[in-house]
Amino acid sequence: MPLKALIFDVDGTLAETEEVHRQAFNETFAAHGLDWHWSQEDYRELLRTTGGKERMAKHRASVGRGPSDAEIADLHKAKTARYVEIIASGAVPLLPGVQDLIARAHAAGLRVAIATTTTRANVDALIHATFGKPTTAVFEVVAAGDEVAQKKPAPDVYLRALDLLGLPPEACIAFEDSRAGLASAKAAGLRVVLTPSAYTTGDDFAAADWLRADLTQASLQDIPDLP
């Protein structure tokens, strides 16, 4: 079946945002008097759990103390607001090849979508800061983690993106940076281009259809049907 759409993860795929997430978490913890501080090593391990609230609950379980579920939800809202502020400042650029590949896709008449675990507010902040446009001016479809029952590695968010596009998985290619994202996309029946991020380099990505250092390679070399 001819390629009709590209579906992108966000964090670690479009931009190297995970360090900003970690910064926003730590600043939020400090601002609310919570004696948690996540090092890069801590956060690399926590990223194996998808979703910010879920990561806080995981950390609470590991240390045996911490905020209630309701307090975690409030902390997550504050963290999201801080993340949006940092991203809006223009501190994080798109990763190599991303803007070029999306421009080539648009020029070739391919549809472009997002399937992410992060919230829509985070997506909108990043796209506006990097593309200078509203999200809907760049991506036809956005499927976010707060819109589905189960987050990655479950296939829900990719299945939602496919449903919104009205396309079968055979007509799409997914772009991911993590094992959870890879598992999610493959469970939805998608072919996957995997570009490791700073926090996922060295992980096992044997299930990916294409493993590339960045999307500059993906837009220029031997991936069938890409513009």
DSSP lists the bridge partners of residue 11 as 15
pLDDT tier at 227 (50, 70, 90 boundaries)?
low
Q: Does residue 176 register a pLDDT over 70?
A: yes
Specify the pLDDT at position 223. 73
Torsion of CA 150, 155, 105, 47, to 10 degrees: 60
* Assigned domain for 227 exists: no
- Same domain for 54 and 106? no
Concatenate the DSSP letters of all residues of the chain into one string. Answer: ----EEEE--BTTTB--HHHHHHHHHHHHHHTT------HHHHHHHTTS-SHHHHHHHHHHHHT----HHHHHHHHHHHHHHHHHHHHTT--PBPTTHHHHHHHHHHTT-EEEEE-SS-HHHHHHHHHHHHSS-HHHH-SEEE-GGGSSS-TTSSHHHHHHHHHHT--GGGEEEEE-SHHHHHHHHHTT-EEEE---TTTTTS--TT-SEE-SSHHHHHHSS-TT--
* Assigned domain for 131 exists: yes
Specify the pLDDT at position 17. 96
**Is 11 labeled as catalytic in the residue annotation?**
yes
Q: Is the dihedral of CA 208, 212, 217, 222 positive or negative?
A: negative
pLDDT tier at 219 (50, 70, 90 boundaries)?
low
Candidates 9, 124, 156, 177; catalytic one:
9
Q: What is the CATH number of the domain that holds 11?
A: 3.40.50.1000
Based on the structure, what is the number of domains in the chain?
2
Q: Which of 54, 89, 124 is where one domain is finished?
A: 89
Q: Show the tokens assigned to 24.
A: 């926003």
* Assigned domain for 197 exists: yes
Q: Which residue segment(s) compose the domain that 73 sits in?
A: 17-89
Q: Does residue 224 register a pLDDT over 90?
A: no
Q: What is the CATH number of the domain that holds 78?
A: 1.10.150.240
**Is 74 labeled as catalytic in the residue annotation?**
no
Q: Show the tokens assigned to 38.
A: 């996540």
pLDDT tens for each residue of 124-170? 999 999 999 999 999 999 999 989 999 999 999 999 999 999 999 99
- Same domain for 53 and 133? no
What is the Cα–Cα distance from 24 to 47, expressed in whole angstroms?
15
* Assigned domain for 63 exists: yes
Q: Is the dihedral of CA 82, 120, 12, 44 positive or negative?
A: positive
pTM above 0.75, yes or no: yes
* Assigned domain for 226 exists: no
Nearest to residue 166, comparing CAs of 5, 39, 51? 5
